[in-house]
Structure 1
Amino acid sequence: MTARTLQITSATPDPALLDLPWQVPLEQWPVNRLATLPRGISRHVVRFVQLSGHVLAAKEITESFARREYELLRLLRRLGLPAVEPLGVVTGRVDAEGNDLDPVLLTRHLQFSLPYRAAFSQSYSASTGVRLIDALAILLVRLHLSGFYWGDVSLSNVLFRRDAGAFAAYLVDAETGDLHDTLSDGQRSHDLDVAHMNVAGELMDLQAGGLLDESTDPLEIAGSLLERYSSLWSELTAPEAFEPGDRWRVDARIRRLNELGFDVGELNIATDVTGTSIEIQPKVVDAGHHRRRLLRLTGLNVEENQARRLLNDLDTYRAAMDKQGVDEDVVAHEWLARNFEATVRAVPLELRGKLAPAELYHEVLEHRWYLSENQGRDVGLDEAVSSYIGGVLVHKPDEAAVLGVDTEEIPVVSDMFDEDGLDASPQPLPGTSGASAN
């Protein structure tokens, strides 16, 4: 038997990786090496590992797939798309008897994220499924706009972060994906067909496990994914004809795209053969309009809906303090120190793992509005923070780790799928009529 040498391929190597028990199959790794985090359904062995103050996801997979997925994830990250961060590939593993072990793909665990089964197991409401579908539709559109063919679209292959009452979806499994300059309608259609089948099956599993209300129709929710995707894709890419004097309609189209969280990098404007109308079609659309504005003003890097919510509060602060004539950067710095950072610092250290800071601030704002509405007066921020911490935050699960929850223990009907707070009313995609909601 030829001796094999352990090899770790990584753009950011960590010497502590050498201390992990690579000679042992992942499913037999000692508990003291592992982090207790919710795991989704997977055809591969997946474990969460504590290393150098971080949590890594380790997945046993064949070498060719491991290297391919590692490079694809790196490309997606370079494109600014929501995907987990790849850390490396470990090959040349052998056990104590010299038998070959599968290579391992390493990714950084996405903090404050949940697999879809954990989102349902913690707290189910009528809108949970709809919100997850919204997030998946937005993620799929973003990937398709960038030329990424997924091949295995499902809730199981996504991690979800709370985003100002909604969810933001991150791709976690690119094993079957491929990156092109552009996608054909056939490639997009195939991804949607696979998504419809997988999502319906996953929701049926939840229903069989008692995590989905019996009155909820998994097929209807899965079908809404196609409608929501179609609405968003059309708004972002469909050409639109205007009369020459309708310049305001061109501006309105750009504003609608901004409301969806996308910037318009380039417009293709051309007159028709009669010269009496103009056709406008976005050529480059990039998500994160509000995120980038907030990042520029405050340095906060948050989700899109959270950024929109925080910017609204910043604008409210500016008006309330009568600082419309003051430079926006100056006001933003003042708001950051007096409102946002003061709120985060008010939370006891032992409770700071409950929610990401931006989501915490969003919930405090919602709580403040609720208190003011019920008391018929404007409740101050300090009072709202104190009330929220003592009455709401202490009862929430710790989403930085979600300790003690293992979704593999939830009853499952099938194992055909890959790995990996809410109000009761379904929320339509931003900018759509919501006609496809359940």
Structure 2
Amino acid sequence: MVALQITAASVEPALFDLPWHIPLEEWPDENIAALPRGISRHVVRFAHLGGKVIAIKEIGEFTAHREYELLRDLARLEAPAVTPLAVVTGRVDVEGQPLQAVLVTEHLPYSLPYRAAFGTFLKPETADRLIDALSILLVRLHLLGFYWGDVSLSNTLFRRDAGEFAAYLVDAETGELNVSLSDGKRTYDIDVARTNIIGELMDLQAGGMLDEDIDVVAWGDRLEERYTTLWGELTRVDSFASNERWRVAERINRLNTLGFDVGELSMTSNTSGSSVSIQPKVVDAGHYHRQILRLTGLDVEENQARRLLNDLESYRALTGRAGQPLSEVAHEWMSHVFEPAVNAIPVHLRGRLQPAEMYHELLEHRWYMSEKAGHDVSMNYAVRSYIDNILIYRPDEKALLGAIIDRD
């Protein structure tokens, strides 16, 4: 008889307490965490493990080990993907019949499958933001040399990011990691993404969740156009006159605005010295994320980080310290501005959004209130209004209990 085996990078003794002898789709309610699930060709369930939630997918043993190792490689590269926890093999039921192996990953807090991101009806502007987030994710993965093979909204999780969305890879079953990616494989990924998105949106139309008059093909085209524009901005070679060296800084600033850091530049000049070419050699995502993490310790999404940095800059200017380094102002901003605003939210409502997303919405709400009043309103007043008029009506995105979307 084959013994139960758990392959894991870290010790998780509680894994042995889960009912591995029961087929995953029959697990008792006491083990199941009621979270929204996306469409999957495999049985997928969320389960409680100690004080956290894990995602479990029944899959073939070879594929489970392969995806586990691939997700570990992506984690080492700091790619936006779910974190692998373990592979469980040697499962048998109470009658001794073999059961499929499972891949266990950590649940990404506040993340949503695309169907749960917009509720019961998809607004065009929400679809635009989801597709933009997916195109950025695809570019980031391709820059790392990752070929996905099955790009789709269904294989992606989304987290709110200062009014936009940040996308995370959740299914790497068909992927492979290379030193670099050929144009052919990039093109194939884009074609698959376009085809899958059109099909997924057509499915929403058939289910009455998307207006039938909307051109879903145009949304598939949007991903391709957005990807092509961003990829070109990140990888193209610029040529300019030798007396226009300011364009180097301009190019770097433009990349920073897109949320990418330039790790190395390759610059060459012709024999006459009249022109210079520049190309980013190493481009890392998360420019603003790293800045706000270094300044405040807040680990947030890229657009959230940009919004927090803007507010920190405003605080520095309004307190008359424009010439003072941000690093010296950041602690005071945290203790006098950010933390009091977030801590003013009642405890039972804090889980409804990530703290950084909640602060972003507070800033938005305060701006609209001030515009309507014709003068600046206080943060305390804005917080009370935000709680009473907006937050209490928001679903709890940390749990979304009962909002299960399951079409396995």
**TM-score normalised over the length of structure 2:** 0.98
1:331 aligns with 2:361: no
Q: Which residue of the partner structure matches residue 210 of structure 1?
A: 208
1:103 equivalenced with 2:131 (yes/no)? no
Q: Equivalent of 2:130, from 118, 122, 132?
A: 132
Instruction: Tell me, yes or no, if the aligned pair for 2:313 and 2:326 is still in contact at 8 Å.
Output: no
Q: Find 2:385's aligned residue among 379, 384, 387.
A: 387
Choose which of 343, 347, 350 in structure 2 pairs with 1:349: 347
**Identity across matched positions, percent:** 62
Q: Name the counterpart of 1:279.
A: 277
Q: CA deviation at 1:44?
A: 0.2
In structure 1, C-alpha distance between the alignment counterparts of 2:204 and 2:342, rounded to whole Å: 35
Contact 1:155–1:199 under 8 Å retained in 2: yes
Mapping for residues 12-411 of structure 1, pairs under 5 Å = 12-121=10-119, 124-408=122-406
Contact persistence 1:163–1:306 (CA under 8 A): yes
Question: What residue ranges of structure 1 are gaps of 5+ in the alignment?
Answer: 410-414, 416-438
Tell me the distance in 2 between the aligned counterparts of 1:325 and 1:319.
9
* Pair 183,399 (structure 1): closer, same or farther in 2 beyond 3 Å: same
- Contact 2:120–2:209 (CA under 8 A) maintained in structure 1: no
CA offset digits 1:372-428 (Å, max 9, x no partner): 00110101111111110111000000000111112226xxxxx8xxxxxxxxxxxxx
Q: Which runs of 4+ in 1 moved over 6 A?
A: none
Q: Say if 1:337 and 1:288 are closer, same or farther in 2 by CA, change over 3 A.
A: same
Matching residue's letter, 2:292: L
Task: Give the secondary-structure state (helix, strand or coil) at the position aligned to 2:99.
Answer: coil
Tell me the number of residue pairs that the alignment of Structure 1 and Structure 2 aligns. Answer: 408
Between the aligned partners of 1:214 and 1:245, the Cα distance in structure 2 is 55
Looking at structure 2, the residues matched to 123 and 314 of structure 1 have their Cα atoms a distance apart, in angstroms, of: 36
The whole-number CA distance in structure 1 between the counterparts of 2:260 and 2:203 is: 34
Aligned CA RMSD, in angstroms, stands at 1.1
| 8 Å CA contact 1:120, 1:211 repeated in 2 | no
Q: How far apart, in 2, do the equivalents of 1:73 and 1:255 lie?
A: 32
Instruction: Quote the offset at 1:217 in angstroms.
Output: 1.1
State the distance in 2 between where 1:36 and 1:264 align.
42
Residues 327 and 231 of structure 1: CA distance in aligned 2, closer, same or farther (over 3 Å):
closer
Residue type of the alignment partner of 1:326: Q
Distance 1:274 1:329 in 2: 44
Conserved in 2, the CA contact under 8 Å of 1:48 and 1:58? yes
**Cα distance in 2, alignment partners of residues 114 and 340 from structure 1:** 26
Kept in 2: contact 1:153–1:191 (CA 8 A): yes
Secondary structure at 2:154 match in 1: helix
Deviation at 1:327, TM superposition (A): 3.9
Cα distance per residue 1:152-188 (max 9 Å; x no partner): 0000000000000000000000000000000110010
Aligned residues of 1:243 and 1:278 also touching (Cα < 8 A): yes
Give the SS at the match of 1:378. Answer: coil
Shift of 1:122: 5.0
In the TM superposition, residue 274 of structure 1 has moved relative to its aligned partner by: 4.5
- C-alpha deviations, 1:241-297, integer Å up to 9, x for none? 111011111111110000000000011111135532111111100001101110000
Letter of the aligned partner of 2:113 in structure 1? P
C-alpha spacing 1:100/1:267, structure 2 compared with 1 (3 Å): same
Q: In 2 relative to 1, CA 214–273 (structure 1 residues): closer, same or farther, beyond 3 Å?
A: farther
Q: Work out whether residues 121 and 209 of structure 2, in 8 Å CA contact, stay in contact via their aligned partners in 1.
A: no
Counterpart of 1:179, as a letter, is L
Taking CA–CA contacts closer than 8 Å with sequence separation of 6 or more, which of the two structures ends up with the larger relative contact order? 1
